[in-house]
Structure 1
Amino acid sequence: MMAVRVLLKRWSERYFSDEEAVILFFVLLLGFAGIILLGKMLAPFLASVVIAFLLNGLVHALERWHIPRMLAVSVASCLFIGVLFAALFILLPLIWNQLLGLSRELPGMIQVGQTWLASLQDTYPTLISESHVNAWVAQAGQELGQIGQKLISASLSSIPSMMALIVYLVLVPILVFFLLKDQGLLIHWCASWLPNKRRMLGQVWAEMDKQIANYIRGKAIEIVIVGAATYVGLVAFGMQYAALLALLVGLSVLIPYIGAAVVTVPVALIAIFQFGWSDTFIYIMITYGIIQALDGNVLVPLLFSEAVNLHPVAIILAVLFFGGLWGFWGVFFAIPLATLCKAVLNAWPSDFSKE
């Protein structure tokens, strides 16, 4: 027992002998604990912070054109409100109608899949048995056949939460406006609660402020470009549910590596159901593959050229870990949070890196 105490004492002296290291540790601990415990209540504020980061670049650009900050903040806020209402009254109804239409056609898709599996069973009787085909079809029918009922029940159960949605629609734009307007004042107020000696905190904050702003703006641009390119490509071939699939493909960029692989499945299945194993199906998948290749090899390097270099294993682990903790927001901020961990390690006292 005595040896354990001595070991813990030496460990703490080595890693937490610096006062700033202790301050940084507790700031990070309180931040993570607050988000884990109060994440749902703070969701409107977190969303407002993300949007404020996104619009802050526009505000700075307008200021460089000698436009007063108050007017620049007002222009950025009005632009956000316009995009928000366009998404609510134009994009959302279109996506919802396509989702309902897809749920109604699922039984027909299952029947087509059953016919295809039966043909495979006839071609390869030793590999695929009739019992396997029946089991797969039954399971698919049980799972997919309930999607329409789930959508209807979800829409009905969401009626009590409409008031909360209306509150968010009012609250978030107000928060965004004041976060942009009083950015310097709010940062100064938060800094006043910290000790005067905060070199490590300042180093980590300076790096993360730049990285998070670049990441949020880059991801927003990437979602719009990839989603729009996918929509144009699918519409050009006359594919059904183009808006719904384009939205899924656009949002898939939030999950590096995994998202593109997962969203390929619905794109391929709907294309097969509509066109079968035809040349059109091949052209659609080639177009989709070109969009993904351009996204990964051209768009991402251009948008995130200033991002901290992270190994793909570190990115995937960050997505799994933070996504498991905070769901959508954890996935969205997985890369910035991984960058935060790297920035903390770089800013930590030199004794830590010698371990």
Structure 2
Amino acid sequence: MENSSKKFPYALDLAASLFAMALLLGFMYATQTVLVPLLFAILIAISLYPLARLFERLRLGKATAAILSVIVAIAVIYALGWFIVHQSIIIGKDASAITNKVMSVLDRAQIWLENSFGIQRTEVMDQLREQGDKMMSNAGTMASATFGSIGNVLAGAVLVPLFSFFLLYYRDFFRVFFFKAFRSVPHAKVHETLNKIYYVVQSYLLGLVTVMGIVAILNTVGLMVMGIEYAWFFGTLASLLMLLPYIGIAIGSILPALFALAVKDSAWYAVGVVAWFQVVQFLEGNIITPNIVGSKVSINPLMAIIAILLGGMLFGLSGLILALPLTATIKVVFDAIPSMQAFGFLIGEPEKEHLKINSTQELLIKWKIVRKPNMEKKVKVEIDVNTDENPPKTTLHYKEITESETTAFEEDKSADDKKDNEA
């Protein structure tokens, strides 16, 4: 029986895939009020799955295990929130003293500006007043955005635990859905892709938590050495801001630097705080994260930055947090779809052969764009005649040399010239 199915050209198949992806992004933007809590719930459910399995092995039942896992997650998040709020209240008790020191620092800064650049204090105050008026003029917009954000947070506080429970409880039900939705794909392939998504996202989340703990300790130790009060609070807060990739630690260094500027007699303490946090960020990006997460989440830095920017445009602050795990999931899906494998390759980490000095030549040979250069062996003979001796002494030195007759480009060019002459 003749197969009546038509195979579409690759360009048409690729265009259809890109168009579908554009429609999906538009749908995600339009439904972000529900989609963002759902995405956070998926991440939490994946991270809680081992705990739920542990409870199930204790014969607690799937529903009970899911509820207990969600309660544990709520307790951990509540403990972190209580710690930050409690420490903020303690620091706020000294607000008057800190304010006085901040004002004295501003006075010294005004004097320095006046002596160094001739900028009068009245000019500085005029600029500050102008900026204050602009902020007040936008107060309505800022207030509405703030209340809107608070409403989204409150809605998420209810929806995320609820979604997480159902994702844990109905996980096998959802797996069957994927088998039915991709009926034309072998079930083993669908099962393997789902497991790989789970593995990649869980590796990212567990690695992130581990790195955050290490960074919190390093931040705190550095602040303690410099004698900064509330070191645990500032160190932990900066590590939690690592949820914002690449910029979290840098933002987290601003608050302890301002605090050091206010409570210490020298501004060098603030400089030291910023410098130490930058050292920690360097260690985190080049040593800690690569050794803990490794190649489990294979996203090259360029695509990671682009994903973070696009995530911020799509979902705002939540998009910055969701960008990397969502991109890692998209890469797994792209690798499983033949027409999108090139984009999965583009998102991933380059291999060592792509970063060599002569990688262009090797890749051209590998992809059979040019031929491998012919190599020939030669023997180099050096004759050394010593005329001082009687009779003269002759010494021969032999050296074997392997060199290319022609480079790949020259060989290719000579072949083209030969064809042109024949024509």
Q: Secondary structure at the match of 1:192?
A: helix
Is 2:200 the partner of 1:211? yes
Is 2:305 the partner of 1:309? no
Q: Is the contact made by 1:106 and 1:145 (CA closer than 8 Å) also made in structure 2?
A: no
Residues 106 and 174 (structure 1 numbering): CA distance in 2 closer, same or farther, change over 3 Å? same
Q: Which has the higher contact order (CA 8 A, sep 6+)?
A: 1
Task: Give 1:7's aligned residue.
Answer: none
Residues 101 and 342 (structure 1 numbering): CA distance in 2 closer, same or farther, change over 3 Å? farther
Q: Secondary structure at the match of 1:277?
A: coil
Q: By how many angstroms is 1:238 displaced?
A: 5.0
Residue identity matched to 2:102 = M
Residue identity matched to 1:51 = I
Q: Secondary structure at the match of 1:40?
A: helix
Q: Is the contact made by 2:216 and 2:236 (CA closer than 8 Å) also made in structure 1?
A: yes
Q: Is the contact made by 1:208 and 1:336 (CA closer than 8 Å) also made in structure 2?
A: no
Q: Which has the higher strand share?
A: 2
Residue identity matched to 1:86 = A
Q: By how many angstroms is 1:188 displaced?
A: 1.8
- For residue 162 of structure 2, the aligned residue among 154, 174, 179 is 174
For residues 224 and 267 of structure 2, the distance between their equivalents in structure 1, rounded to whole angstroms, comes to 17
Between 1:192-201 and 1:179-188, the stretch displaced more is 192-201
Residue identity matched to 2:25 = F
Between 1:298-307 and 1:278-287, the stretch displaced more is 278-287
Q: Unaligned regions of 5+ residues in structure 1, if any?
A: 1-11
Structure-to-structure mapping, 1:293-332, within 5 angstroms: 293-332=282-321
- For residue 171 of structure 2, the aligned residue among 183, 188, 194 is 183
Between 1:185-194 and 1:323-332, the stretch displaced more is 185-194
Task: Give 1:261's aligned residue.
Answer: 250
Task: Give 2:75's aligned residue.
Answer: 82
CA RMSD of aligned residues (A): 4.6
Residues 32 and 218 (structure 1 numbering): CA distance in 2 closer, same or farther, change over 3 Å? farther
Residues 268 and 351 (structure 1 numbering): CA distance in 2 closer, same or farther, change over 3 Å? closer
Q: What TM-score, normalized by structure 2, do the two folds share?
A: 0.60
Q: By how many angstroms is 1:28 displaced?
A: 4.3
Q: By how many angstroms is 1:304 displaced?
A: 1.3
Is 2:30 the partner of 1:37? yes
Is 2:1 the partner of 1:13? no
Is 2:109 the partner of 1:116? yes
Q: Is the contact made by 1:234 and 1:242 (CA closer than 8 Å) also made in structure 2?
A: yes
Q: Secondary structure at the match of 1:333?
A: helix
Q: By how many angstroms is 1:32 displaced?
A: 2.7
Residues 136 and 182 (structure 1 numbering): CA distance in 2 closer, same or farther, change over 3 Å? farther
Residues 17 and 233 (structure 1 numbering): CA distance in 2 closer, same or farther, change over 3 Å? closer
Q: Which has the higher helix share?
A: 1
Q: Unaligned regions of 5+ residues in structure 2, if any?
A: 1-7, 343-366, 368-423
Residues 346 and 105 (structure 1 numbering): CA distance in 2 closer, same or farther, change over 3 Å? same
Structure-to-structure mapping, 1:76-225, within 5 angstroms: 76-95=69-88, 98=91, 105=98, 108-109=101-102, 111-119=104-112, 121-122=114-115, 125=116, 128-131=117-120, 135-136=123-124, 138-140=126-128, 168-197=156-185, 205-225=194-214
Residues 321 and 170 (structure 1 numbering): CA distance in 2 closer, same or farther, change over 3 Å? closer
Q: Is the contact made by 2:256 and 2:273 (CA closer than 8 Å) also made in structure 1?
A: no
Residue identity matched to 1:192 = K
Q: By how many angstroms is 1:60 displaced?
A: 4.3
**1:124-171: CA deviation from partner (whole Å, max 9, x where unpaired):** x4xx2315x7555654566589999x99x9999988998886665444
Residue identity matched to 1:273 = A
For residues 338 and 73 of structure 1, the distance between their equivalents in structure 2, rounded to whole angstroms, comes to 27
Residues 162 and 225 (structure 1 numbering): CA distance in 2 closer, same or farther, change over 3 Å? same
For residues 341 and 167 of structure 2, the distance between their equivalents in structure 1, rounded to whole angstroms, comes to 36
Q: By how many angstroms is 1:98 displaced?
A: 4.5
* Percent identity of equivalent pairs: 22
- For residue 335 of structure 1, the aligned residue among 324, 330, 341 is 324
Residues 260 and 141 (structure 1 numbering): CA distance in 2 closer, same or farther, change over 3 Å? farther
Q: By how many angstroms is 1:72 displaced?
A: 4.3
For residues 198 and 96 of structure 1, the distance between their equivalents in structure 2, rounded to whole angstroms, comes to 57
Q: By how many angstroms is 1:104 displaced?
A: 9.1
Q: What TM-score, normalized by structure 1, do the two folds share?
A: 0.70
Q: Is the contact made by 1:15 and 1:351 (CA closer than 8 Å) also made in structure 2?
A: no
For residues 166 and 311 of structure 1, the distance between their equivalents in structure 2, rounded to whole angstroms, comes to 35
Instruction: Please tell me whether Structure 1 or Structure 2 has the larger radius of gyration of its CA atoms.
Output: 2
